Chains A and B, each alone.
Chain A
Amino acid sequence: MKQSQKNTVKASVIVAIAVLCTTPVSAMHIAEGFLPPMWCAAWGVLFLPFLVWGIFSIKNKCAGNSKIKMLLAMSGAYCFVLSALKMPSFTGSSSHPTGVGLGTVLFGPAAMAVLGLIVLIFQALLLAHGGITTLGANAFSMAVAGPFVGWGVYWAAKKCKAPAWLSVFLAAFTADLFTYMVTATQLALAHHGAEVTFLQSWGKFMGIFAITQLPLAIAEGILTVLVYRMVSSLCAEELRILNPAR
């Protein structure tokens, strides 16, 4: 083969990899069996305090008020349905919104820790997305890290007197991106060794996510703004009950 032919072959390989990378739907869940037991346990333990905090927070909110309990359960089911919807994406393949940003802005990070865990369990069982052994890792990235950063950004943007649409967009965008970053870190921590160092491995997973998920994060940010605008004008009363701090 001539050098130019070799280069063509290599270019076609890159295209194939790039296209393959855009096919997986909601690629941010770590699939069953991808983490060694030690890391499964470590992320699970790390998630535990947030879960306990979330459960107490929900319990206090629901005490003597069944309406809030019902609203929270509906919100959880809504997060699940949202993640099952197909989002049109710029690359032509279909992908799913994560709902992390919208859930955080509407319900707050404490409720998201519990609702996120339950949604992840049902995604693992009903849709085979994610897994039981990787539940702790996925819960930490999607139900804790993303919502907390999103909430922080939302709060900071509001303090800076940013318009509502901008704070919601920024919250959803950063929540998405931060979730990917944590997932990339989790994968890199588990999959580096003699051949590749942690940083090289991390760069690889971050690179994959940057190519595929950056456009998705922007798309989801816009979607979140559109949904938030309609929902906050139609259900102001219920949202105030669910999350007074909003």
Chain B
Amino acid sequence: MSSLNPARQNALLLIALLFVQLLLMAGNVRDAAGSTLLEKSALRISQPVVAVSRALGGGFSGVTGGVRDLTTARKENVHLRDEVVRLRGELDRYHEESIENQRLRQLLMMKEHIAPRSIGAAVVTAILSDQEHVVVVNRGTSHGVAPDQPVIAWGGAVGRVVFADSGHAKIRLLTDPNSGVAGLVQRSRQEGMILGRGKGLLEMVYVPSFADVALGDRIVTSGIDGVFPKGVGIGVVQASEAAGIARTILLEPEVDFSRLEEVLILVETEEPPQDPAEPESPPSGAGEEP
């Protein structure tokens, strides 16, 4: 090595570094858990730096948020009073409908919907560039977070967990170009796949041109992807036009990804599978009194 001139030494170093990183990338593409050890180590080493930034960011957001809140509080107060009156009326109506719904469900022997168990998490940092739409939160495997768990926020679906360390988790947002979620039009029940475009809007694909989709229709998760539970809001149709046999549909997400501060990670989304033919009484066997 010492007999080589510096340019050759650098070229050899370049080849070695690129080769190691190519191996890392190849391992990552082949198996999602391929290089998590190094990724976790890098995350842990740099954790203090990001913790300091987070503390600074929290202070900055607090000051600017306080000033903004003061100026908008009065206007919002008047608006919210009107909203409370209107919502009270709606709440009474929904309460009546909920009782009726419960009665009908019991009548149809449908399963009771079980609210999924969730973990609240605060956003540590985030990136919204063309190719990467990622949020890092302060909850990890030690809190029960695992890859492929769905994440929601006030308003609708946010994304899914793609990496979890003991104290942090990375969430790929719905707007990421490599993100996909199964959805359906709430009104017409037309199913499709919602993909990220790397920009603000989402795209719904695999929808036939004759499908009943109108501007302003709400799109919710269909639950068939096995990640998100059914009925979580995704977005509202902003543009819909037939192009050949398929229809191009653009959606505006229900969640403002640039203002995310807290999210909910759904750690249990489904009930354990139960055979409909199985009787309701507990099965006989181990643990049963003779």
A and B physically associate: no
Please give the residue numbers on chain B whose beta carbons come within 8 Å of chain A beta carbons, in ascending order.
Answer: none
**A-to-B contact residues, CB < 8 Å:** none
